[in-house]
A and B are shown apart, each in its own frame.
Chain A
Amino acid sequence: MSAGLSMFLSYLVSGVIIGNIYGLMALGLTIILGVMKIVNFAHGEFYMLGGYAAYVSSIKLGIDPRLSILVAMGVVFIIGVIVERGLLTPLYAGKLDRPGDYALLMTFALSVFLMNVVIPIFGPYQKSSAPLAEGSVNLGVVMVGKTRLIASLVSILLMAILLVALKKTRLGIALRAIAADRDAAAVCGIDVNRMNPAAFGIGTAMAAAAGALLAPSFLVYPACGTIAASKANAILVLGGMGSTKGAIVGALLLGVFEALGVLFLTPGYRDVYGFLVIVLVLLIKPTGLFGSQEFS
């Protein structure tokens, strides 16, 4: 195996392991987009809140680190529902001229608020939640910390559970129905407006799970959601907006693009390749790689 290829594989493997977790975050973004037709610009900050919740739960309260991930999801789900009820209801009240732009401005402002509100609460120092395991595993091409590997596997599991739940449960079917056609779903007797907080809560809980899973590896600090959010956005566009399967494929693709970029261009720009990909994909296919606006 040539040196270049082995370098590429080691970038790829380490990239995809982390990429999965961003994929989980993108899945949350997709659900919110599908049901509420808005892009949540504060998604990265829910990721950050998830990280802090995992920190408080596992370090301050001494709860098992694996359980802490569920705690983080639960806490952020509640915060998500409160945010939706408190700030996003004007979207459907019909008093606004441009609900789409309102949502963008609101979530953008929310992201700045959340990023700053944690500074007085948790201080500017970075925190870490308890590691999921000690030590590293040799995967042949690259050594990977066990915590990262477990986090990646857990995120795959969570994605699988979510996809099955969307297919099989009553709530999942209702969410999909609204995503496909809001008015038709309402006609069929689904309480459309009650589904908004559910979608927003579930979506933000996914971001929180990603934040909690990555907290031991990448640490938690007020601005830690920015990079995560930009990756989730890139995955969202790559996978085609509103397509749940696309979110997963998008995560893998982003991992490949980043590894190629690091190898042939420079590692410094790695966090930007996602953006270049967004622009390229949108230029070639303005509706995203997996074209349809469907929510399947």
Chain B
Amino acid sequence: MATVTLKHVQKIYPNAEDGSKPKKRKRGKAEEEPQHRTYNLKVTDEGVVAVDDFNLEIKDKEFVVLVGPSGCGKSTTLRMIAGLEDITRGELYIGDRLVNEVAPKDRDIAMVFQNYALYPHMTVRQNLEFPLKLAKTPKEEMDRRVNEAAEILGITPYLDRKPRALSGGQRQRVAIGRAIVREPQVLLMDEPLSNLDAKLRNQMRAEIIKLRQKINTTFIYVTHDQTEAMTLGDRIVIMKDGEVQQVGTPQEVFNDPINIFVAGFIGMPQMNMFDGKLVKTDETHYAVRIGDALIAPSADKQANLLARNTPEMDVTVGVRPEHITLDHVDGAMIKGVIDVSEMMGSSVHLHISIDGKDCIIIVPTLDLEDGSHGIGTDLEFTFAPNAIHLFDPETGMNLEHV
């Protein structure tokens, strides 16, 4: 129902070393403070930069997922949008309205918290009614919305229970219900599924997708789980150390990662990285040398490199496990030894050791001849030419994007 625009948004936590300055950040996680140090957040004279120069235009009714490792600033960004954290610098618009100084309740947003944050002394119905009562909604309207939300989420039978009598999944539904009864312009979700067990998480993920079809609103969703990000998001924002790495559709970030970090973060199992050398086979053609193998990228990748006039250089070659093939191509085969073989059902994950370095290959089970891929067997493989990603080992950037 509304666009959300962030322009050069920055969040700096003042240094609290002397103990006298305020330290606002407290999210219930005790390990918060050391995180600033563990992760390489920038530190300036003003303090720790938790989010730096965040620019994003979220379209009306879009589902945007902020994803990144813990301490990357994704939750902080969400909390700035919610109004729970002050914005140090930059501008935040919801619709056309600048909301930097607007109180959370006047931003027309709702939020679902990781730990549900239900009011334990109220029944489910009272929990759902609470925001509406505060907004002085008429009784009939309130009943209508509460019943509707309960219906959508399948919590109608529990309306008179207290949260303590509900299971984790039901509690999270109530938390989502409390957010949607307000019919907010923007629905914020802060890792809503990470407290659920694996099975329930998958189920709730599907329900969020369904929910999205039922209620038309803008979603901003924070998670550290790339599977959730890929399956839920129209667009994904990948963050690291307070900086946005890449913004794009799940397909874009998967097929065309902008740097080594994104390449490694998105995709399960992780992308394999090889040290190699980019060489020119003639004036217009490139190839990658890894060990003895010489592998030519696909024609459009070659064209991209040529257009950027990329010189011969050392490169980090990234290939996803599913893009490694055992088909024989003359002169392009890399040799390795199988270390571990994991049977996953429809496919087998082979852990290969190549001169001490590990890589993972996914081979469809049907392609395997019985017993031919036992532990300790030698194996030759090569890459699908259109799935080779070349990164500058110095900067980590994708050479096709420099």
Q: Do A and B associate with each other?
A: no
Binding site for A on B (CB under 8 A): none
Binding site for B on A (CB under 8 A): none
